[in-house]
Amino acid sequence: MGMSKWSVTVLVEDGRWVPVEVEAETMADALDYVYSLDWVENVVECQRIE
């Protein structure tokens, strides 16, 4: 399985929802990456876009 693009909507420190585009093999990998970012408080939604 190759890399896919994921659109992950995250909640940031100031209360905004921000879309983040991630390239990863699986949804779990995309979520692991996003949760590793210091400015991400929580994930609202994750969808594969490619």
pLDDT of 29: 97
What pLDDT, on the 0 to 100 scale, is given for residue 22? 97
Q: Residue 50: its pLDDT value, please?
A: 73
Joined together, the tokens standing for residue 11 give 């909640």
pLDDT at 1: 61
pTM listed for this prediction: 0.86
The predicted-structure confidence for 1-50, as pLDDT tens digits, reads as follows 689 999 999 999 999 999 999 999 999 999 999 999 999 999 999 999 97
Q: What HEC string does the chain produce?
A: CCCEEEEEEEEECCCCEEEEEEEECCHHHHHHHHHCCCCEEEEEEEEECC
